[in-house]
Structure 1
């Protein structure tokens, strides 16, 4: 996405935040295995699906337009999320401690569209690896810094990840949740945990 479009979207995101039009997520240590979260620290403004559709509807249009591309890249029968609160989100990490706890996603395919370029607050990931040439499996650790207009695609349920805290910069990430057509499961407590800091119940089933 061109820089000027990202900058325009970022200005509108900030305007909504300044007008207190979206919630600030701020909680620590509430995660459980039920929602695949290790109980880290959360601090960011969140645009839920209805907020995005109200204030930045073109990001929803991009979400639907990307389905064929994501399907080709992932070799899956990709579908949009059946959960309207979490289909498209924006996470706005404020300067001075904006962050996201260590977790797995509940959706199989996660796509991030970055609206800012950041020298700090990278996405930190851990991926389990194995290879016939090595006797034991290992965990690959890495970091990805946000680059304005870029897309990042990952297997949300397999990649353990978080956001290193911000220091002086603001970081803006659009989060697109996709699923495979045959698998759209999402724990019923997940949205209340992520958005409102409600401790999830035990995993059912």
Structure 2
């Protein structure tokens, strides 16, 4: 849930900072992000770190899968078909990919927002958005890129692409944000920075 007031605080902060019109979109949960980056696991964690914690987590995960499998078989839901969980890839590129900057910023944020302007991009963290905005901490920029370092942004596919070939497909929070995004888009990926005429968000 996003309470009214958070988006407006982010808009005000970034309009003042950049002196450009902005589009502000609430980003989705980073827990499901998939990575295809050398040196990173599929969940984005760095290979070779937190080995003890991962050891115990894997034991618990194995026990959980075993219990779930037994319950699955006992429910007669098994139809002989094999299905397996495969994490969708959102971040891909070479080791030390430029796409890791915003992806890691999203993973660490409690209330992430993507802010787009004609020559800038940023991820802003407002903290949890269920509280009253008046009691929330000040919005904080956790990642920022400006022209010429700014990646190519395709809002229609929610994808950023960098010069090193890396890319990040960011998740939006919900259908409300998807509708809001569409209200700014015109033909051939043009962006109406002040909203498309006649569109409702």
Shorter-chain TM band: under 0.3
Q: Which has the higher helix share?
A: 2
TM-score by length of 2: 0.27
Larger relative contact order (C-alpha < 8 A, sep ≥ 6)? Answer: 1
TM-score by length of 1: 0.26
Q: Which has the higher strand share?
A: 1
Query: Which structure is larger by alpha-carbon Rg, 1 or 2?
Result: 2
